[in-house]
């Protein structure tokens, strides 16, 4: 019994050490589920080229990633939003200096059911739909049917972009249907002919169950997003503690390399270089 | 004569049990302390009255609102509706299993029922999203099939195995002598079941129901996926709702740690704890009453 307890305790101790600081040749990446596909694809490529380095990638959300960076339990924090002032303050208190690396660009695009005849909305119309001033599709050139407004939960990075660029800080209609993930957004819109939603470009491409809308007559695609014409775009970030060094630096450099940015593109986002 | 607890071989197991038991207790206390530590600071931003009676939930706005009334009512309404759907079915099922069906069928059915109670809720949530929601929307011409009714039906399906399995246990625990006495008085099987066995097992049945209700309040995945998530006070059962649990699940991941929003989410945790505690007290009260009934 005693021996068992000793074994159990030492195993726990070992695990907590592992979770604490990364060993040489090991990189941990945590954070936003939006950035996750990029981190995953790049990690696989990077490990294939550098077999002595092992990279652990996990999701959990931007907030959790940044918290892990502040606690020193991750080398890289993925975030689909810029770090908040409060988080910078908390980090500084612990002697951590978050450094921003903008690894990709994401466009957030309005989507509807394929049966919906509407294919373009102005920013103003979108704002009015999402604040509840426009309630019927006929007011924007569609059929005489109620609009089912679908939104992401308020703390999602995608929502934050939408709130800033489309709602201009106004409050989203309380009766809107709230979904908890990008996948759930696609499902909900695909299943509801009355719905309007929005999603990152990486989750929309090649999805035939939903249809994208143009904003102000500008279709959402790589060119319009890169040129800045498409109005709802955001950066995806990776944060490190200060200037990255060693394997972490090699990995960040890899993401900005031609091969890394190719992975960004394959994951459905827009390269920054 | 050796006293209890002084035998050499007796000391170690006693110590092990004491250590493990107090570890369990300490973990529980730490969880509560942590919840309170992270949740209570929200009261510096909003008063308890504002939180409990406010109807606007905008935790991330520039001037945030932390009204949790729609969330509390969301939790209560989904729980109530699912209990209304599940409890009659569960009790009938339990009576059937324990009193009516042939023994062989019961022995086959009971384990199946118990396995069903471990059915992953995320799968049910997925069914709600992919099958029930579009069906509800088309059939009833709703603006969305993700609503309170959808979530309650799924939650009902989830708690039926729990309630009926526990009810069946308490029905089977009623001694055979009681039934024999009833039959000896000339009662029919129906009279024996409804007037003797069920009343005798009533405290157990009520506790089974309360356990099911507690499970429903705490359930997260189904309400996250199928309830629609709108933080409004529901006016009909076809309205979308946002229960407390799904609010935590949807928002915690991206919330800056230590922010006011983070505190608010932990406060929701405190509220859930208080709600389950109240139901637990109710269960204990029923047990006390039950002793008197017998």
Residue with tokens 């550098």: A50
DSSP state of A172: P
Confidence band of B28 (pLDDT split at 50, 70, 90): very high
Model confidence at A206: pLDDT above 80: no
**A234, A270, B167, B236 from A225: Cα distances, Å:** 9, 8, 60, 42
Using DSSP's 3-state secondary structure scheme, residue B1 falls into: coil
Q: Encode pLDDT of B86-103 as tens digits.
A: 999 999 999 999 888 888
**B228 Ramachandran zone, left/alpha/beta (phi>0; psi -120 to 50):** left
Residue B99 is predicted with a pLDDT of 87
Model confidence at B197: pLDDT above 80: yes
Residue B253 is predicted with a pLDDT of 77
Q: Which of A60, A84, A169 sits opposite B256 (nearest CB)?
A: A84
pTM, full prediction: 0.81
User: A61-65, A109-113, A121-125, B123-127: lowest mean pLDDT where?
Assistant: A61-65
The number of beta carbons lying within 10 Å of the beta carbon of residue A258 is: 8
Using DSSP's 3-state secondary structure scheme, residue A208 falls into: coil
Q: Encode pLDDT of A132-178 as tens digits.
A: 999 999 999 999 999 999 999 887 888 888 998 999 888 999 999 99
Model confidence at A93: pLDDT above 80: yes
Cα separation, A130 vs A122, in Å, equals 12
Contacts of A174 in chain B (CB under 8 A): 56-57, 70, 230-232
Give the H/E segment covering residue A30: strand A26-31
Distance from CA of A64 to the nearest CA of B (A): 6
The mean pLDDT value of chain A amounts to 87
Contacts of B242 in chain A (CB under 8 A): 178
Residue A146 sits at the chain B interface (C-beta within 8 Å): yes
Model confidence at A18: pLDDT above 60: no
Residue A186 has which token pair? Answer: 């696609």
Q: Which of A156, A175, A179 sits opposite B254 (nearest CB)?
A: A156
Cα separation, B100 vs B105, in Å, equals 10
Cα separation, B121 vs B123, in Å, equals 5
CA of B55: which chain A residue's CA is closest?
Answer: A174
Q: What mean pLDDT is predicted for residues A101-115?
A: 93
Residue A21 is predicted with a pLDDT of 42
**A20, A55, A185 from A78: Cα distances, Å:** 18, 14, 21
The number of beta carbons lying within 10 Å of the beta carbon of residue A78 is: 30
Model confidence at A19: pLDDT above 50: no
Nearest-CA neighbor of B91 among B215, B207, B219? Answer: B207
Share of chain A above pLDDT 90, in %: 60
Contact B61 A171 (CB under 8 A): yes
Model confidence at B72: pLDDT above 60: yes
Q: What mean pLDDT is predicted for residues B65-70?
A: 94
Model confidence at B128: pLDDT above 60: yes
CA-CA-CA-CA torsion sign (B155, B160, B166, B167): positive
* CA dihedral of B171, B176, B181, B183, whole degrees rounded to 10: 80
Cα separation, B47 vs B38, in Å, equals 16
Residue A154 is predicted with a pLDDT of 83
Residue B107 is predicted with a pLDDT of 86
Residue A221 is predicted with a pLDDT of 84
Residue B200 has which token pair? Answer: 């005798």
Residue A241 sits at the chain B interface (C-beta within 8 Å): no
DSSP of B241-273:
B--HHHHHHHHGGGSPTTSHHHHHHHHHHHHHH
Q: Encode pLDDT of B159-179 as tens digits.
A: 999 999 999 999 999 999 999
Model confidence at B52: pLDDT above 60: yes
* Residue in A93, A143, A154 to test binding to B, most B beta-carbons within 10 Å: A154
CA of B265: which chain A residue's CA is closest?
Answer: A155
This complex has an ipTM of 0.80
Q: What mean pLDDT is predicted for residues A225-252?
A: 91
Q: Number of A:B CB contacts under 8 A?
A: 115
Model confidence at A13: pLDDT above 80: no
Nearest-CA neighbor of B233 among B72, B115, B122? Answer: B72
- Contact residues for B135 (Cβ-Cβ < 8 A; gap 6+): B145
Distance from CA of B140 to the nearest CA of A (A): 13
A182 and A205 Cβ atoms separated by less than 8 Å: no
Residue A65 sits at the chain B interface (C-beta within 8 Å): no
How big is chain A by its Cα radius of gyration, in Å? 21
Model confidence at B59: pLDDT above 60: yes
Using DSSP's 3-state secondary structure scheme, residue A59 falls into: strand
Q: Which of A86, A171, A191 sits opposite B58 (nearest CB)?
A: A171
A33 and A47 Cβ atoms separated by less than 8 Å: no
């Amino acid at each position: 019994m005693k021996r068992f307890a000793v074994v159990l305790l030492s195993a726990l101790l070992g695990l907590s050490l592992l979770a604490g600081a990364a060993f040489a040749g090991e990189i941990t990446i945590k954070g936003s589920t939006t950035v996750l596909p990029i981190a995953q694809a790049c990690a696989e490529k990077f490990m294939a080229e550098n077999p002595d380095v092992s990279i652990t990638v996990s999701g959990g959300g931007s907030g959790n990633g940044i918290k892990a960076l502040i606690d020193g339990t991750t080398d890289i924090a993925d975030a689909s939003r810029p770090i908040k002032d409060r988080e910078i303050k908390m980090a500084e208190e612990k002697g951590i200096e978050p450094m921003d690396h903008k690894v990709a660009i994401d466009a957030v695009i309005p989507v509807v059911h394929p049966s919906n005849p509407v294919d373009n909305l102005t920013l103003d119309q979108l704002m009015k739909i999402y604040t509840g001033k426009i309630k019927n599709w006929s007011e924007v050139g569609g059929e005489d049917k109620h609009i089912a407004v679908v939104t992401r939960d308020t703390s999602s990075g995608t929502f934050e972009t939408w709130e800033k660029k489309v709602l201009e800080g106004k409050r989203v209609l309380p009766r809107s249907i709230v979904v908890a993930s990008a996948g759930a957004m696609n499902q909900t819109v695909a299943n509801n002919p009355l719905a309007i939603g929005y999603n990152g470009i990486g989750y929309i491409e090649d999805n035939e169950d939903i249809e994208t809308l143009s904003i102000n007559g500008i279709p959402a695609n790589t060119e319009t997003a890169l040129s800045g014409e498409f109005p709802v775009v955001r950066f995806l970030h990776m944060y490190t503690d200060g200037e990255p060094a060693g394997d972490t630096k090699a990995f960040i450099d890899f993401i900005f390399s031609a091969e890394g940015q190719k992975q960004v593109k394959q994951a459905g986002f827009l390269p920054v270089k | 004569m050796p006293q209890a607890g002084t035998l050499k071989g007796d000391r170690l197991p006693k110590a092990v049990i004491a250590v493990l038991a107090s570890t369990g207790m300490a973990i529980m206390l730490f969880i509560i302390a942590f919840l309170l530590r992270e949740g209570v600071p929200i009261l510096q931003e909003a008063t308890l009255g504002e939180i409990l009676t406010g109807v606007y939930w905008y935790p991330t706005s520039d001037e945030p609102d932390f009204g949790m009334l729609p969330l509390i009512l969301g939790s209560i309404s989904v729980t109530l509706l699912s209990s209304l759907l599940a409890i009659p079915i569960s009790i009938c099922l339990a009576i059937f299993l324990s009193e009516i069906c042939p023994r062989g069928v019961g022995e086959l059915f009971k384990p199946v029922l118990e396995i069903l109670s471990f059915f992953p809720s995320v799968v049910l949530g997925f069914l709600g999203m992919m099958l029930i929601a579009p069906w509800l929307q088309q059939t009833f011409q709703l603006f969305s099939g993700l609503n309170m009714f959808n979530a309650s039906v799924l939650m009902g399906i989830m708690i039926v195995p729990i309630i009926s399995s526990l009810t069946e246990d308490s029905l089977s625990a009623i001694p055979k002598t009681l039934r024999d006495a009833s039959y000896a008085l000339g009662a029919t099987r129906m009279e024996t079941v409804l007037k003797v066995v069920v009343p005798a097992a009533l405290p157990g049945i009520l506790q089974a129901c309360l356990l099911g209700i507690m499970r429903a309040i705490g359930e997260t995945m189904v309400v996250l996926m199928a309830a629609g998530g709108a933080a409004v006070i529901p006016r009909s059962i076809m309205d979308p709702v946002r229960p407390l649990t799904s609010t935590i699940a949807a928002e915690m991941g991206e919330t800056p740690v230590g922010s006011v929003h983070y505190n608010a989410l932990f406060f929701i945790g405190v509220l859930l704890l208080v709600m389950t505690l109240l139901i637990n007290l109710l269960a204990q009260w029923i047990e006390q009453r039950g002793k008197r009934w017998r």
